[in-house]
Structure 1
Amino acid sequence: MSGLGINNLESIKFPVQTYTDTDGEEHEIDLKVRTSDTAEYKFENRSNTIQTFFKSNLCGYSPVKVETGDAFFEWTPLGAGFQDELGNEQWMGRVENCEAQVVRENTVLYKNVMGDIDEEFQVLSGKLKHNTVLNSLPVYDQSLPGSDIRFVVEGKIDFSENVFVFSEGYTLVDKLETSEEVQFIDTEGATTFTLPSPVAYEISGSESDVCKYTVTKIERNLYSLKISLSYAWLRDKNRNYPVAIDPTLVGIDNPPGMSGRVKRLAFSNNSKYLAIATLNENKPYVYEINRDTHTLKELPKPTGGYERGDQCVLFSSDDNYLLIGGTYKLTVYRFDTLTGGYTTIIPQPNVSTFDGTVRDIAFSEDFSYLAVSHNYTIRTYKFDSASGILSKQNVLNTPYYPLKMGFSKNNKFLLTKQSDYTLRTYNFNDGILSNVTAAFNGQFYDFDFSADFDYLAVGLNVAPWFSVYKFDSDLGMSGPPINPKVQPNLTVRKIHFSRKTQNIVIAQYNQWSTYQRILIYRFDKKTGEIGQQVTLDNTTKLPPTNLNTEPLDLVFSPDGVYLGYTQDSDAANSLFLYRFFYEPENNIFFKDEKTSDYYSDNNGNTLMLLDFGQIVAGQTSLPVKVLVENLNDFPVKNLQIELINPSTDYTVEISKSDNPFIPETNLLYSNPLNNLDRVPIYFRIVTTEKSTSGGMFEVRAKCSKI
């Protein structure tokens, strides 16, 4: 058998990110922080659409500066503490002396600026991401008279003289408080910088909380900036530290391209669009996939940008609507043919306010209902595909956070993976969820249904790391688990069937290991067996296996052509999109039994050759086994196998068995072959003492539909 690069995941090209230098020349963006060539600063990055500078010591005036064109923005951190609803404050202390250090190529860290708090700055494309990192819970001594306590980080911002502060359509006069974006606009009305909606999030977890800006004018172009968040959220017993408080500074000429920390992704049902939810900016991006060039182009955004969408994205069945979920938000957008994007927001009068994070959204099989996971509840709604309106809200309380959901065939069950790593299955009837029908305890990380809903694949935190169960549309999970013969190396965080259920793709991970992230296993849906691991073509560009690059999502496009994968990383390469290798259908095919690879595609193009190796003249080769498989959705009969050998140097013989090998030049199978049925064929080559060379021969198959 000779392969022709059939198991290759072809990388899809993302929009190239560029900047223009002082000489007007365009270059690809480089986010690496380098030693500064100025006396005032220790480190800098000038190879971006913004230029960023860092002083050696954080304890001084304006240790961090950002420039774009003629505009600049300077940040001076002051300290942190607590504040109650009455305006009383208690400060933990002020920023201490600490030296700048480059901890990753795009990241500058000022460590232990005040107790167990770090100041981290990440240079991203067109942005400077600023994280105040709480490595542990800040200690509060209960001395403030109020009851609603907030943790506060304070600093000063200084910016260009011709720039003014705006938020929610209003100009700041003396003071503003907001959880929305803050804009810095020059006298000509152009936005120079923005501070997106602030958020706090678990660096190694999935929880986040909305923060609040308090901006107070000190003098012209010098302001106090406080970022505060609920102390109750910080001290939650389930909180996973470290926690980052994230006010990201964005230059308005932010280049096209991918944001770091892509949390989730979704393909439209026509496989034309790709939507992603980002943790860095807390908002989604939507791209159109060019099928001819296999490149991406960003769609137009709504005026003012999308609402918060840092957790999940989903398309309606007809792709007329895009649903996005995040902290305190579930928003529905309609596609506008005039703008060419999902730019029209659909008000939802029947949806109650969310008081926490929307973690997942899932449509029922027929797209008539929507499930929304939120804190310790699952809401369900009736979805009107004509208007995009959600109605008939129902709420079910759950013992733990539902992190992922999926409806079974015929909408009978809703399967959930919850924050205690247990799979719980709920009955679903006419929009109402009821009692748990099954709870599978264990360390479940992820699950996925096969396209026909007959199988359920699960990722595990214990060996064998992943399994497959049969799934009955009336009974749910049934039978013992089907385990791989050759196990992965690590916990399987993400798992997905290919569209035709011929492969299972997994993403394995632990934070100390650099094993290959993406593995692919063959799957036989007729027998339910997990086959061998696929050896990928050596041209495949797989995701980097740096430490702490946890898999976040793994999704196939509905047509099975594309595989999307994202892992936690602030680098530009946190999202990976591949054109998946060929999976046959709607014909009969020749198949290699050992590798489960196919010798041709639907159009008859050769994918592999049957290789007999070297044969000495006058000898006969050993038999080579090939399977003929029916991949039609219907049974066939009268399967005929025909040999076409133009060579006179050797003879090709075929047989229905290898012992005994009964040589024939044509074979006829009178018994019917149902879908996925296979019959074996054995080939051998017979040479004479006068044989001088090898060659090529063809094998053709034909049959009749029953």
Structure 2
Amino acid sequence: MDYIYKNASNSYTVRFSNNAADNYFVIMEYQGKTLAFGLKDSNATNAVKLEKIDSVDSKILSNTVDAQSCIAYKDVYQDIDLIYESKTYGLKEYIVLKRPTGKNEFYFNIKMDGLKVKEENGSIVFVDKDDNAIFYIEQPFAIDNNEVITEDVKYTIVESNGAYQIKSTIDKAYLTDASRAYPIVIDPSVMITGALTTYDSYVSSKYPDTNYYLNYYLRTGRDSDYYIRRTYIKFDLPTNIPAEYVTSAYLRMEKYSGATPSIKAYRVTGYWESSTITWNNQPSYTTTYASPTAYNDSGNW
């Protein structure tokens, strides 16, 4: 295979084949382990390095994606594109349904070197011989051009004679709803573990014993699917900073879309781990909070 594109300077390496018809047109390498994957029965379309993403292609992607870090495979199936964005923490994949096609299932061939694959809380995890997670694919969701989101997107591991595929299925009712605004973007990510010194997760009152640390997006607020959701974040901070030199601090986060919600931020006073926190064991926190309203800036910051 002719892998003509490669990322520049991340802690992991990712290479892209020139042809989406190759069984494994993406290869990721991290900590001596390799994960290769490709869309089953894709059209023979060539990789294209993007310069920009127009709002006519997808308002959602044009607001959130750095096109300069993207490789695209156009029309891997009729009216369906694949876009990959290299990020610090891993590789983001966008399956772009440009118009209704009737297709709601996608199969990806996967090949692993020194890894095993398993499902965990709706995500896919690739572990080494000691059961340490090396790569994981977050539980996906889909969003249409009016920013209507569904989390009814499921992964299934399919194994046959030692060969593996990941099946991604999106709810047909969501795709065929008369109010749906195309294009629709299905948004999973292939993450690398240990890439950041930030620890985060969220909890859900509807699923009080479920841990969501493998999810890439942090979700906060109320809805009918998860009831109340709270996000927890902590950082590895330097221990040798003289206290008198710290005059202020702020947290700057990127929203997925241009909404302006009110957010309350509390200081957590109890111990927690991102990989084990749930609604039922969430730690204590102060009653004093900051409650700014998110606003729109460049890139939804």
When normalised by structure 2's length, the TM-score is: 0.67
Q: Contact 2:86 / 2:92 at 8 angstroms: preserved in 1? A: yes
1:233 match: secondary structure: helix
Confirm whether residue 209 of structure 1 aligns to residue 151 of structure 2: yes
Q: Distance in 2 between matches of 1:343 and 1:126?
A: 21
Where do residues 514-593 of structure 1 align in structure 2 (5 Å cutoff)?
557-558=290-291, 565=295, 569=299, 574-575=300-301
Equivalent residue for 1:167, pick from 92, 116, 119:
119
Distance 1:124 1:207, change over 3 A: same
Q: Distance in 2 between matches of 1:180 and 1:47?
A: 30
Q: CA deviation at 1:205?
A: 1.9
Q: Distance in 1 between matches of 2:157 and 2:25?
A: 20
1:234 match: secondary structure: helix
Equivalent residue for 1:281, pick from 216, 221, 230:
216
| One-letter amino acid of the counterpart of residue 110, structure 2 | I
1:139 match: secondary structure: coil
Equivalences, count: 243
Task: Write the deviation string for residues 549-603 of structure 1: whole angstroms up to 9, x where unpaired.
Answer: xxxxxxx955x8xx8645584xxxx53xxxxxxxxxxxxxxxxxxxxxxxxxxxx
Q: Contact 1:204 / 1:242 at 8 angstroms: preserved in 2? A: no
Q: Contact 1:336 / 1:342 at 8 angstroms: preserved in 2? A: no
| One-letter amino acid of the counterpart of residue 102, structure 1 | K
2:93 match: secondary structure: strand
Q: Distance in 2 between matches of 1:232 and 1:568?
A: 34
Distance 1:242 1:296, change over 3 A: same
Q: CA deviation at 1:345?
A: 3.3
Q: CA deviation at 1:200?
A: 1.4
Q: Distance in 1 between matches of 2:264 and 2:48?
A: 43
Q: Distance in 2 between matches of 1:341 and 1:192?
A: 16
Where do residues 244-283 of structure 1 align in structure 2 (5 Å cutoff)?
244-256=185-197, 281-283=216-218
Equivalent residue for 2:246, pick from 289, 292, 312:
292
Distance 1:58 1:293, change over 3 A: farther
Q: CA deviation at 1:189?
A: 2.4
Equivalent residue for 1:60, pick from 22, 34, 59:
22
- In the alignment, structure 1 segments of 5+ residues that lack a partner are 1-38, 79-93, 141-150, 169-178, 260-279, 299-308, 321-334, 349-385, 388-555, 576-706
Task: Write the deviation string for residues 665-694 of structure 1: whole angstroms up to 9, x where unpaired.
Answer: xxxxxxxxxxxxxxxxxxxxxxxxxxxxxx
| One-letter amino acid of the counterpart of residue 78, structure 2 | G
Equivalent residue for 2:95, pick from 107, 120, 132:
132
Distance 1:343 1:194, change over 3 A: closer
Q: Distance in 1 between matches of 2:278 and 2:186?
A: 29
Distance 1:339 1:285, change over 3 A: closer
Confirm whether residue 346 of structure 1 aligns to residue 279 of structure 2: yes
Confirm whether residue 77 of structure 1 aligns to residue 39 of structure 2: yes
| One-letter amino acid of the counterpart of residue 233, structure 2 | V
Tell me the residue number matched to 2:46. Answer: 99
Q: Distance in 1 between matches of 2:9 and 2:28?
A: 13
Task: Write the deviation string for residues 445-492 of structure 1: whole angstroms up to 9, x where unpaired.
Answer: xxxxxxxxxxxxxxxxxxxxxxxxxxxxxxxxxxxxxxxxxxxxxxxx
Task: Write the deviation string for residues 286-323 of structure 1: whole angstroms up to 9, x where unpaired.
Answer: 2579992645689xxxxxxxxxx99978548xx37xxx
Confirm whether residue 224 of structure 1 aligns to residue 159 of structure 2: no
Tell me the residue number matched to 2:123. Answer: 181
- If asked which structure has higher relative contact order (CA below 8 Å, sep 6+), I would say 2
1:105 match: secondary structure: helix
| One-letter amino acid of the counterpart of residue 225, structure 1 | I
CA RMSD of aligned residues (A): 3.9
Tell me the residue number matched to 1:241. Answer: 182
Q: Contact 1:196 / 1:247 at 8 angstroms: preserved in 2? A: yes
Equivalent residue for 2:132, pick from 190, 201, 212:
190
Q: Contact 2:141 / 2:149 at 8 angstroms: preserved in 1? A: no
2:173 match: secondary structure: helix
187-196 or 286-295: bigger deviation: 286-295
Tell me the residue number matched to 2:207. Answer: none
Q: Distance in 1 between matches of 2:130 and 2:263?
A: 38
Q: Contact 1:116 / 1:136 at 8 angstroms: preserved in 2? A: yes
Confirm whether residue 111 of structure 1 aligns to residue 74 of structure 2: yes
Q: Contact 1:287 / 1:297 at 8 angstroms: preserved in 2? A: no
Distance 1:565 1:47, change over 3 A: farther
Task: Write the deviation string for residues 600-640 of structure 1: whole angstroms up to 9, x where unpaired.
Answer: xxxxxxxxxxxxxxxxxxxxxxxxxxxxxxxxxxxxxxxxx
Q: Contact 1:49 / 1:255 at 8 angstroms: preserved in 2? A: no
Distance 1:285 1:98, change over 3 A: farther
Larger strand percent: 1
Q: Distance in 1 between matches of 2:102 and 2:118?
A: 34
| One-letter amino acid of the counterpart of residue 130, structure 2 | E
Q: Distance in 1 between matches of 2:74 and 2:275?
A: 42
Distance 1:113 1:341, change over 3 A: closer
Larger helix percent: 2
| One-letter amino acid of the counterpart of residue 166, structure 1 | K
Where do residues 438-453 of structure 1 align in structure 2 (5 Å cutoff)?
none
- In the alignment, structure 2 segments of 5+ residues that lack a partner are 51-66, 201-214, 219-230, 238-242
